[in-house]
Amino acid sequence: MAKQAIVQIKNLSKTIGNKKIIKNLNLDLHKGEITGFLGPNGAGKTTTIRMMVGLMRPTDGEVWIDGQSVQADFEGSIQKVGVIVENPEMYKYMSGYKNLLHFSRMHKGVSKERIDEVVKQIGMQNRINEKVSSYSLGMRQRLGLAQALLHDPKFLILDEPTNGLDPAGIREFRIYLQKIARENGVAIFVSSHLLSEIELLCDRIAIIQNGELIDIKDVNELQQSRYYIQAEPLELVGEVLTGAGFPTVLHANGYLIDSGAEHIPGAINLLVGAGARIFAVQPYRETLESQFLEMTGGGEIAQAHTK
Amino acid sequence: MTWIMVLLLVFVVFSGLGITKWLNSTANENLDENWQDLAQAEIENSTIMLAEPGLSETQIDYHEGQIAIAEHRLENDIPSLEYASMQQQVIDTHMLMSIVTLLAVVAAAGIVASEFSQGTIKMLLTRPVKRWKILTSKYITILLFAVLLTLTLLASTALAGLIFFGIGEGTPLVWNGSEVAETSFWLEALKLAALKFSSVWMISTFAFMLGTVFRSSSLAIGLSIFLMFTGIQAVFFLQNYEVVKYYLFTHTDLTQFYNGNILIPGITMSMSILVLTAYFLVFMVISYWTFGRRDVTS
């Protein structure tokens, strides 16, 4: 299946003072695909997102949304985008519904029925007429999602969307995003610090560091087939597995082998035949966190500048 | 918030007129001159003024008009409006317009700045609406609000005047340059309020610009109100220099051409309008330029 790029970021650069904050970023986001955006603090995530939605002006390069340039045709391109930038700030002295009504008026063709529908989807129908100042952070996040979805966007940009949601809320949120990506073909771009959350939510992950895109991976690719076999004696197990042609790595009380599922029964038979005592055979998954830290070289904050 | 401002305005008007009424009732009875004496005094006063050298055309025209009106009253036996009447209070409403300026400045300073301080600016600017359109809608809102305040001021003076003074005797007269004509007090009041509105407009636009540029409503309110009170004083410091003719506050109050209290001799209404337009354009260009180009990082 050829993937249709809804968003194209081309040679995006931002220089503030004489500091290059974003260096020549290129990235395509596809229809129906959820892309995670990861990077250490100060790597340029928020700056990139702000340039994508027209809050900041790129020094160089362009962002194309469904064939229209954000820089050249702001109104034409942005009407296809739903945005949450950091915390969704609403007018606190108005009710949630009034806020949505206010924002809906700035889009073409958002009906009152559509507002009610979105309110129902985010599960806020019982509190929507209360003032936003009485909402919890999680409820504000939901309202933030609602305002981003009002105009049925083709592309959704979310900056830290699960901040403040409870575990049930996060799960609901994830299922909902995956649903609109699959069913409506919405391209979704999510930046988050919650790596485990990104891993569960996204199809693809882009990693940025010091203003440069250092890696783009499919999540399935990250989870290449690996098995952990815990058995004794270790030397014997090592010999048998290497002898059978499996690439092996010593790990904890056993070995990690790179292998497809179909070869595992054979490997077990070999080990049993050689007289090894098997305690556990299980699929092994390296967490995104360890890969992320490996790629970005630990936790230091990129050389200081604005956030 | 805005309703509080409107209510505050009504409250100030009512208490102001109430106090005037009370002062009037306790004041000395023989201050109550008849209109013939007042007209006579007007003629004498303006004749003395006209004898002074170095009067500008606008001033000469004004005093000649005053004499013509007073003579017309005496000849045709048309009394002027009593001070303690609803009509005269409505005509004098323009003197209370600084309250409108004050309230309009507060709104103008905050309308853009508060979007930044609440963080809602990023929600607003990620809509498919260009920035200049958003700023324009904000600016129009401020102008409408200022007009609403002005109308509220007129209406509440009329109401308070009716309650405290009732409808009084007399007919307002105007000099149109060649002859004396009767006018309605409403028309007269609206004309004066509209001329005074130039000041409300300019100072609110200034506050709007500061709020947009500095994104801080307190700074914009403080600076605008400070200038509103000291700006006029500075005209007197500058009056001997040529630069005073290009100074904003020499021109903000257009009623000066209507009631003869011209701040600097030699300025004319059209010159003032020209200077005000130039300032207005500068304020607008600065507002739109900074708002349109700013990188939003809040």
A93-120 per-position pLDDT tens digit:
999 999 999 999 999 888 999 999 999 9
Residue whose C-alpha is closest to residue A186's, from A65, A24, A10: A65
- Chain B: residue whose CA lies nearest to A77: B128
List of chain A residues whose C-beta atoms are within 8 Å of the C-beta of residue B117:
none
Report whether pLDDT(B165) > 70: yes
Tell me which residue of B150, B141, B284, B145 sits closest to B205, measured CA to CA.
B284
Q: What is the pLDDT of residue A300?
A: 52
Note the pLDDT of residue B24: 76
Quick check: A79 and B120 CB within 8 A? no
* Highest mean pLDDT of the ranges A231-235, B25-29, B274-278: B274-278
pLDDT digits (tens, 9 = 90+) for B106-142: 999 999 999 999 889 999 999 999 999 999 999 999 9
For A6, the token pair is 């809804």
State percent of chain B over pLDDT 70.
Answer: 97
Q: Reduced to 3 states, what is the DSSP secondary structure of residue A283?
A: strand
> What does chain A come to in residues?
307
CB contact under 8 A, B297 and A56: yes
Q: Which long-range contacts (CB under 8 A, 24 or more apart) does B44-52 make?
A: B46/B70
Tell me: cis bond preceding A247? Omega within 30 of 0 counts. Answer: no
CB pairs under 8 A between A and B: 57
Q: Is residue B84 less than 8 Å (CB to CB) from chain A?
A: no
Residue A299's pLDDT is 53
CB contact under 8 A, B119 and A89: yes
Q: Which residue of A has its CA nearest to B294?
A: A56
User: Which residues on A lie below 8 Å from B297 (Cβ)?
Assistant: 50, 55-56, 306-307
Picking from B114, B126, B295 by the largest number of A CB atoms within 10 A of its own CB, the best residue to mutate is: B126
Neighboring chain B residues of A147 at a CB cutoff of 8 Å? 123
Does the pLDDT at position A307 exceed 50? no
Higher per-residue pLDDT: A293 or B11: B11
Mean pLDDT of the region A133-159:
90
Note whether B127 contacts A: Cβ–Cβ < 8 A: yes
Report helix angle B185-214 to B131-164, nearest 10.
140
Q: What is the pLDDT of residue A306?
A: 39
How many degrees, rounded to 5, is the angle at CA A236 between CA A234 and CA A237? 65
- Give the amino acid at B193: A
pTM, whole model, 2 decimals?
A: 0.85
A18: exposed, middle or buried (Cβ count in 10 Å: 0-12, 13-18, 19+) = exposed
Gap between the Cα atoms of A230 and A189, Å rounded: 39
On chain B, the residues whose CB falls within 8 A of the CB of A153 are none
Would you call A67 helix, strand, or coil by DSSP? coil
For chain A, what percent of residues have pLDDT higher than 90? Answer: 34
pLDDT at A4: 80
How does A295-305 read in b/e, with b if 16+ C-beta sit within 10 Å? Answer: ebeeeeebeee
Q: Which segment of A86-100, A292-306, B230-244 scores lowest on mean pLDDT?
A: A292-306
Nearest residue of chain B to residue A76 (CA atoms): B128
- Residue A304 pLDDT exceeds 80: no
Give how far B283 is from chain A: nearest CA, Å: 23
- With H, G, I as helix, E, B as strand and everything else as coil, classify residue A203: coil
Looking at CA atoms only, how far is residue B115 from chain A in angstroms?
A: 9
Percent of chain A with pLDDT over 70: 93
pLDDT at B267 over 90: no
pLDDT tens-digit readout, A284-294: 776 677 777 77
Over residues A262-277, the pLDDT tens digits come to: 888 888 888 888 888 8
Q: Report CA-CA distances (Å) from B117 to A89, A91, A260, B212.
A: 10, 11, 56, 12
